[in-house]
Amino acid sequence: MMESIGMAGLLALGLSILGVMVLRAPAIALGLVDQPGGRKVHARPVPLIGGVAVLLAFGLATLLLPIPLRPYGALYAGLAVIAVSGLVDDAIGLPASLRLLAQLVMATLVVVAGGPVLTDLGSFPGLGMIGLGFLAMPVTVIAIVGFVNSLNMMDGADGLAGGAAVVILSGLSVAAALAGDTRVPALALTLAAAVLGFLVFNLRTPWRRRATVFLGDGGSLALGFAVIWLAIETAMLPGRVISPLGIAWLLAVPVVETLNLIIRRLLRGQSPFHPDREHLHHILSRAGFTIGQTTSIIIALITALGATGLTASAVGVADGWLWLGLFGFGGVHFIFTERGWRSVLALQRLRNWRIADPDRARVTGIPLSPLRQSMAVIGFYLLVATLPFGLNTAMLGLAMVIGAVVVPGTRFIHTLIREPLAWAVMAAAAWIAIRMVGEGAAPLALWHCLALSGLAALPLGWWLASSPRHVPGGALVLTVSLVVTAAIASVSPDGTAGVEDVVLAGPDRLLLLAMPLPLCVALLARQLQRAGRGWLRAGPLAALALIAAAGLVAALLGASTPLIPDGLRSDAMAMLQRTGWPGLILLALVFVLLLRPLVPLYRSGVWPRYAVLALGLLAVLVLAAVTVSQPLEGVEGGLVLTLGLAVLCMGAIQYRRIR
């Protein structure tokens, strides 16, 4: 079976490439091109035959598949009707109302002729399974027409609609394969291969500076129709492992984009068909991202959401969590696009974060080279994204950051020479290593004590001091990962059974849950300061910070692991037992040097006061975790501690630079 799918995929890829090359000249001769001008950004006419090439390649390649194609007669008929009507629209232009009416009629006929029908929407808390009953066919028609137009509306940046379709089709093939189905994976992967052939000419790459062919309305509408057909069929498979809500996460970005667009236009008294430049890809482009970067960002978002939804549903996360996640994403997307000009300004500030004040410029120091900076960024987000799951990739992420910082050619060595904190950390680490290695201590115990000394946190903190913008970004990614792990932990009644190998647990998780709290408090304080400028400017972020803080506190209070142990057991006591009083004194010196900058930073005004507040709260959390809470466990415990100490190191290093 896999061999046949592979052969069909290769044929679809080759035929799609060949079709574009052959049809391009006739399209230009017939005037079937997209002319520049208006809201369009291309500077010369571009042929609109990408969709025709994809559909022809897909139709011919599926003849090699060892599956019955007769049940998909309505699919092929629908594709043909949409493609032809789309070509007419590309050639002469049709009114939006007429196009919508034609799509509704086509979708109705396809469903009546034997197409897949959406019979349920998964379960909802308090309601159980949401069966559609007599509404199944109308809802299916609306879903088909809605998604067809959703993908068409995404076709505003080179490679975006095609790239999104490839990601979604790949996810659908995985979901169908988990259900034991072979037909959907065969069709989905063959279609994805045909789209990849088109992307050779449409996706911007280092060797292709602009798209030389477009899908056209017919191509994007037909592609959307094929994708939603396969999505509904996958969601309704008898032995499904992925619930319809898991499939919905794959489709979330184009669907939410369209729904918010309609709501936004109706609230403004405009027609839902009224064109504008407030799509997500327009906002990213105006913020300074290139077309290639914009496409990559949105496709990465689709991939991340799809992978999250499929994984969560596969491990048994309740549909209620998936509903909550979709509503949350929809709300964030609406705020981001509704106040698009503010989003553009925020993204521009984030991309071009340059501190003009001389005192503030000194605190960041000299950044890494672009290659090392990229390595450090990837490593940092790998660390914070996978640490809540207890994955080995978290240690790999830390190693990437350390490698980027300490390799020859950086100024990190100057920090070691001039920083009292660095000398204290090195002294504590050296004493710990000599004492524990001499006594034959276990590697895990040695790692815990070295992490407590700040040895691994120092290079990470040095990098954060040079790239402070990644602190809130890392906190956001960490919070999202914690929400996902909380959803996974909800699979079992007690929140833990059966998921020990999937999420971090014990005291390590308690400290990790507490770490984003200081940022939530700081963000709330910042927004309250801005409340005088108007609630609409300060309220949404303040509410988001309050909700996040409440959720984290609820997770902490509801954890099965007690916050404070019964006996005198803590990391500080373990350090005393393993390294003696000299080790504990050196550790105390390290913490004194970490805490010393708080008051001067608050008074100097170099840091915003809400940022110093967050740093102080984090220091309290780390001190409590080390002195009165249960000892951290496993390799992940040392990583959690390293993450917290690194942020404190960042404050100490920046304070030293402005002195």
Q: Is the pLDDT of residue 301 over 60?
A: yes
Mean pLDDT, rounded, for 317-323:
80
209-213, 255-259, 492-496: segment of lowest average pLDDT: 492-496
Query: Residues 638-657: pLDDT tens digits?
Result: 888 899 999 999 888 888 77
Mean pLDDT of the chain: 81
pLDDT at 497: 39
Q: Judge whether 151 and 227 are in contact, CB under 8 Å.
A: yes
Positive or negative: CA dihedral 553, 556, 557, 559: positive
Strand partners, 123: 129
Cα torsion through 500, 503, 509, 515, rounded to 10: 180
Question: Is 101 or 529 the better-scoring residue by pLDDT?
Answer: 101
Report residue 515 as tokens.
């770490």
- What is the number of residues in the chain? 659
Q: Which of 483, 438, 181 is nearest to 332 (CA)?
A: 483
pLDDT tens profile 174-185: 999 998 888 999
Which residues sit opposite 128 in a β-bridge? 124
Query: Between residues 10 and 546, which one has the greater pLDDT?
Result: 10
Identify which of 658, 517, 651 has the alpha carbon closest to the alpha carbon of residue 595. 651
CA distance 645 to 628: 17
Number of Cα atoms under 13 Å in the Cβ half of residue 85: 20
Nearest alpha-carbon partner for 43 in 34, 53, 51? 34
**Does the CA dihedral 15-16-21-27 come out positive or negative?**
positive
- Give the model's confidence band at 495: pLDDT under 50 very low, under 70 low, under 90 confident, else very high: very low
Whether residue 11 is predicted with pLDDT greater than 80 in this model: the reply is yes
E strand or H helix that includes residue 47: strand 46-47
Q: Is 208 helix (H, G, I), strand (E, B) or coil?
A: strand
Rounded CA gap, 449 and 171, in Å? 43
Q: What is the dihedral of CA 393, 394, 400, 406, to 10 degrees?
A: -150
Q: Which two tokens stand for residue 609?
A: 């006061």
The 10 Å CB-count burial string (b at 16+, else e) for 82-97 is bbebbbebbeeeeeee
pLDDT at residue 534 is higher than 60: no
pLDDT tens, position by position, 188-217: 999 999 999 999 888 887 667 788 888 888
Beta bridge partners of 129: 123
Task: Kindly indicate the confidence band of residue 54, based on its pLDDT and cuts at 50, 70 and 90.
Answer: very high
| DSSP 3-state of 92 | helix
Arithmetic mean of pLDDT, 124-150: 83
The closest of 528, 533, 376, 396 to 459, measured between CA atoms, is 376
Nearest to 415 by CA among 468, 355, 461: 461
Q: Residue 498: what pLDDT?
A: 43
Domain definitions of the chain by residue range: 1-351, 416-474+517-529+567-658
Q: Which two tokens stand for residue 190?
A: 């063959």
Contacts of 415 (CB under 8 A, 6+ apart): 422, 458, 462, 653
Residue 2: pLDDT band (50, 70, 90) is confident
The Cα 460–Cα 49 span in angstroms is: 50
Where are the alpha helices (H) located in 93-215, listed in sequence order?
Answer: 96-112, 136-153, 160-178, 183-202
> Residue 537 corresponds to which tokens in the numbers above?
């400017």
Distance between CA atoms of residues 522 and 422, nearest Å: 28
Evaluate whether 337 touches 283 at the Cβ level (below 8 Å). Answer: yes
CA 526 to chain centre: 25
Whether the Cβ atoms of residue 228 and residue 143 lie closer than 8 Å to each other: yes
Measured CA to CA, the distance from residue 176 to residue 233 in angstroms comes to 9
For the annotated binding site, the residues are 152, 217
pLDDT at 39: 53
Residues annotated within a binding site for Mg(2+): 152, 217
Give me the half-sphere count of Cα atoms (radius 13 Å) on the Cβ side of residue 131: 2
For tokens 């079976």, the residue is: 1
What mean pLDDT comes out for the span 253-272? 83
